[in-house]
Chains A and B, each alone.
Chain A
Amino acid sequence: MSLPPFESVVAEHAVTVLRVCRAVLGPDDAEDAWSETFLAALRAYPRLRPESDVRAWLITIAHRKAIDGYRSRRRAPWPVAQLPHEPAAPDVYQVPDAELAAAVRALPDKQRQVVAYRYLADLSYADIAELVGGTEAAARRSAADGIATLRQTYVPEDPA
C-alpha cells in the first residue's frame, strides 16, 4: 500500500484544518497557519506511514509548527470581542456565525484548543491530551468547561 497523491490530503482536510486554525488563532493568522501546516506536511509526507490517521497528523503539525509558534510570538491574549451580558435568547440559533466565532476565541487558550480539536477536528481526548499536555481526563474537563461557557453565552436551553 502506498500513499495517495498529497492533493487528495489537501482536498479532504483543507476545510477542517482551516476551521481549526480560525477557531484557535482567529481569522487574521489562520491562513498563514494553514499554509505553514500544509507546507510542512507536504515536506514530511513521503515519510508518513500509509496507515496513519492523516487528520490527527495534520492537526498535530498545525498545533506544533504553526499554532504554538504564533502563540509564542504573540504575547497578548486574544482580543475578546464584545460578548453579550445577558443569557442567550431562544432564537440564538439565528445568531450570526461571527458571534459564535468570537465566543470561541474568548475562551481561555487551552479550552479553546481542546474544544477546536475535539469538535472541529474530531480528535480523541487521548490525542488531544498528547497535544496540549496534561491527562486525558483534564482534556475532557477543559472541553466540558469550554462548551459550558459557550452554551451559557450562545446556545439556548433545549425547550424539551
Chain B
Amino acid sequence: MNPLAALPSPDTATLDRLHARLADAAAAAGTLDIAYRTMDTPLGPLLLAATPAGLLRVAYESQDHDAVLAALAARVSPRVLRAPSRLDEVAREVDDYFAGRRHSFDLPLDLRLAHGFRHEVLTHLRDIGYGHTASYAAVAAAAGRPNAVRAVGTACGVNPLPIVIPCHRVVRSDGSLGGYLGGVAAKQALLALEAHAGRGRDVLQT
C-alpha cells in the first residue's frame, strides 16, 4: 500500500478555482492561444473556441468536440485551455440568436482556418441576410467562380464557424435543402427559427 495514500485529495471546487486562475493568468501573459467552452443550445452542446484575434471555431457535438480540439491543437497551437469567461460574449450572442432576439453576430472572427476560395466563400455567406436563403450556384457566382458550385458546397461543409457564418442559408437551386455539417435536421431547424423569429414562437423548443 502507498504510504501516502491517506493524504487528502484536492476537492473539485479547489481544482475549478485553480483552473480559472490559470486561464486568467495565461490570457494576461499572452500564452492562452485558444480558449474554449461548450454551451447548451436547442441543437445540443456547441463548442466555441477563440484566439485573441476572435472566434475561431464553432462545432456541433456530432462533429466530435475532442477531435475538433485536437485538430486545433495540431493546426493552430497546442496552448488550448477551457476558459469559459473568455467566451461569455460569444455565448450570449448565440443564446440571443437561438431565442430569436439576435439576427446577426457582432463578434470579431478569426478566419485563419479557411484559405483561398473557401475563405472567399465564407465572406460571401455573411452577406446572406437573416431569414433569407441563397443557392449554391448564386454563392459561387457572387464569389466570382460561377462554375464552382460544388466547391461552394465543400466550403460550406468545412465552415469553421457554423451558425455565426450562416452556411445553413445556402440551399439547392431546386429549393431542396442540400446537406449541412450539423445534419439536415439542424439546418431545417435554423431556417425555421429564422422564418418564425419575431412571431412569438419558439420553434426550437425541444
**Residues in A lying within 8 Å of B, measured CB to CB:** 2-7, 10, 14-15, 18-19, 22-23, 31, 34-35, 38-39, 42-43, 45-46, 93, 95, 97-98, 100-101, 104, 115-116, 119-120, 147, 150-151, 155
Contact = CB atoms under 8 A, between A and B. Distances in A.
B136 to A, nearest CB: 34
A31 B25 CA distance: 13
A64 to B, nearest CB: 18
Interface stretch (B7-15, B98-106, B115-123, B172-180): B7-15
Contacts of B74: 2-3
Contacts of A98: 8
B138 interface: no
Contacts of A42: 22, 26, 31-32, 79, 81
A6 B78 contact: yes
Given A5-B70, A5-B73, A14-B15, A93 B78 contact: no
A28 to B, nearest CB: 13
A10 B80 CA distance: 10
27 contacts: A4-B70, A4-B78, A5-B34, A5-B78, A7-B81, A10-B81, A14-B10, A14-B19, A18-B10, A18-B14, A18-B15, A19-B7, A19-B10, A23-B4, A31-B14, A35-B25, A38-B22, A39-B29, A42-B79, A42-B81, A43-B31, A46-B78, A95-B6, A97-B7, A120-B4, A147-B3, A150-B3
A45 B78 contact: yes
B204 interface: no
B7 A10 contact: no
B31 A39 contact: yes
B4 A39 contact: no
A120 B3 CA distance: 10
Given A39-B25, A45-B79, A4 B73 contact: yes
Contacts, number: 100
Would you list the 3 A-B pairs with minimal beta carbon distance, nearest first? A5-B80, A3-B78, A2-B74
B18 A7 contact: no
B154 interface: no
Contacts of B79: 6, 42, 45-46
Interface string B33-46: 01010000000000
Given A2-B73, A35-B21, A15 B4 contact: no
A45 to B, nearest CB: 6
Contacts of B31: 39, 42-43
B25 A3 contact: no
A44 to B, nearest CB: 9
A104 B4 CA distance: 9
A35 B26 CA distance: 10
Contacts of A39: 22, 25-26, 29, 31
Given A31-B18, A39-B29, A42-B31, A23 B7 contact: yes
A97 B18 contact: no
B78 A10 contact: no
B78 A15 contact: no
Contacts of A7: 36, 69, 80-82
